[in-house]
Structure 1
Amino acid sequence: MASRPPLYLLIEEGNRELLSRALIAVLAVRRGYRVVLGPQWVLHHDFNRLPRGIVMFKGNNLIQGRNMRRARDAGHTVASIEEEALTLSDATEILRLYSSDSIECCDLFLAQGAFQETTLVTAYPDIADHIAVTGNPRTDVLRPEFTNEIHRRADDLRDQYGRFILINTNFGSVNPAHGDTLSLYRRCIQTGLVDPSDPAGLRDFLTWAEWEKDNLNCVIAFAGEMLRAQPNCQIIIRPHPAEDPGRWHEWLDVGGPINVIREGDHLSWTAASEVMVHTSGTTGVEAMLMGQANVSLIPGDNPWHDLYSINEICPTAKTVSDAIELVIDHLDRPEESELFRRTAAVDFGDHIDVREELAAKRIVDALDRFPDHAVEGGMQLTGSISTWQGEKFGVTGDRLRQTVSEMEAALPFYDTSVAIKEHSSGVFELFAEGGFGH
């Protein structure tokens, strides 16, 4: 008997992707899908051992494109979203994320906004009918009805740490967690982000590394000058997972009013802060969506500042003194400051399609274009994940059940709840209560 095909949701970084994938999963189960959610590496390994279905990739780079081809060769339908494009407003940088394999093998490109759609269609006219503008469900899960648990954890952080300024950093090219800047350059070649035969690719990489170095120096200067201007303030620095947190203890006098903390989820830390400071980061988009005061440091005239839509939307500061002035103004009058006014008037334009209808629902609507078919056989999982991959994925059964429960509670009532069956290597199957997992 024909039914909706299985939907495979591949996750790389649980802290970034789990909330949005859980929301898609709940809506898809309500629509009649059986959903399989798990670490991308395990599912990549076992495409030919999984019942034919729809595989939703989190990106389109060279590695993702090669795995799309493997999925297609195993009989699956391929869909993709581009998680790395959330803040990008430059066509060249968006296209850099799409490999030739992904353009050839993807059956449905989920675009976050009209700009991304236009960029893809201009470069690849033949895929126009394979694009759906859906928005990004990471914006859904920051709506008030979905953030109760985030704010509960934020309250706990405020109880523990008091009032603080949060600095979210992202300096993986100049402070990499593994290897050095040259190692990262090699990884960019492996993922297709840099073409080593093209001198422009190397120039772009070096400009990016220089941009991160300038941003890093600006953050260090901001932390020191902020404490001199406001000796009683507390600063918490949260390095990106791609960074080495130990280096921050060399650059700053950590302890006392400055602390470096990576534990916990970044959304709760952002919600708990008085002001969040970043350098053109995705966390700025998330802060704007949560109504959280934030400022982007954009020192100097590096062209990379202009590649991110967040710098068109949120308050920016070209100098440390400008940033300190904005932050102190907000600390003194939080409901009248420029940071408050700019946050209250957020508009992402054609970069991110944010509307009343959930992006997750629009994604499931787009997936419905693929026909029903008979589902034969069960899953045969033989793949495994390394310690490093497991840390990136970071999804346990308890965490998934709690997250799914939160999504169900935030959505309109539905008379069937989602059941979860745990398989090996972090793979989970989600289906309507009373149905049967495989």
Structure 2
Amino acid sequence: MSADADYADAPRIPPIPPRPPRRPAAPPADEDPKTTVLRPVPAEPADPAAPAAAPPAARQPLPAEAAPASTPPVAPAPPTAPAAPPAPVAPPRPSAPPTTPPRPRAEPPAAPPPPTDAPRSFRDTAAFHLANSASLWDEPAARTSPAPAQAPPPTAPAPAPTPPPPAPTPWPATPVGPTGVEPAPRRSLAERLPSTRIVAAAVSLVLGIGLMGGAAAGSWLTESPAKGTPTPEAAFAKGQDAWRNTPVDTLFPRTVEGLAAGPGGADRTWIRIAVAPDADCTAAVEGPLAKELAPAGCARLLRATYVDATRTDVITVGAQTTKADRSGMMDLNARFSTHNLATRTALMPLPLAARGTPAEGFGPAQRASWTVRILTDIPVVVYAVSGFADGREVTDPQPADAAVQPGTATAPAESGLGHDAKGLADKVTATFRAASGIPASPTEEAP
């Protein structure tokens, strides 16, 4: 048997790998443009109070017997058979010479020594290294004028006594100028304010007042009639032709609303049921009243009959246009007032009884209340007479001015016939005055 067979089961030791080739030395870190080098921390200053430390002894090789055992000894294999010869080992390759000789490392400038009273931990922080290496990574402008090193906070400084606050400096009465220069004299308001501003302010004031006056005048003109309030003479002359120039539905509206015109302030509504054609003033139409109105003359007589909303009361309204002038109307009014002609029962106007209406049975015996108005601003005499729509006779008629008085217990007063005569006379008077261009008085309302 051969020797290889004897060592077939013995463990084979792998060959020793060759040594790697030597690499060129890397350039120093401070010469690499992509590497930022922090300034090395200077050695810790020696404390004069502490004893000088002994220099470290040179490292001496330990004797063989004192060398620590790093690994336990491996028991040798029993020599059962002679070991095989080791494989040949390749010679190591020569290392390639460096292409470029390394540059000598430039030493960074020495940093100023830290203060002796700073703690040791302060020099080991990143803030300390960043503060001392600012000149390496700051901008070129900052490198030319390096910022002063940040002073470390004091460990425990003793509080210094607080100095007393300085006395307040009094405010000068006049502004203090530079040394040797006297302040300029204060100018008056007229000198400091330019004349253009004064003119502009005056113009603005005048325009504002003018606009306010124009707005007020426009509002007054808008609220007034279209042609303004006529003079008394013009209104009187226009009233003479009102019966001719004004529609009958305007002088005698189809429906008249009387707000608070009834007994106790109740609202009343009157509906027109008949209109008589215009006629001359005769005793057959007006009765004895025509004789008393004859001195003023008669131009035209208009009449209409109304019924209330309950169809209980009927009222006849008349408007006689006279031929008198203003002084003649004043004389007529004075005579009626002096002799109380408007309240005489014998001078009650005659009613207008229209067939086929609730006023068909309205005759002289059914008259219950009446009123007569002598107008002096226009040549018109307005009157009204009321009665019951069922045709009953009234034995004690009463003037409207007396029947509307509170507490009156007569039949015309309690039935509201006095309120009907007075309310309709007021409405027709307002319509004739409005047709003449006269605005309604506060006590009158247009229908």
TM-score normalized with structure 1 length: 0.16
Higher relative contact order (CA 8 A, sep 6+): 1
Larger radius of gyration: 2
TM-score normalized with structure 2 length: 0.16
Relative to its length, the structure with more helix (as a share) is 1
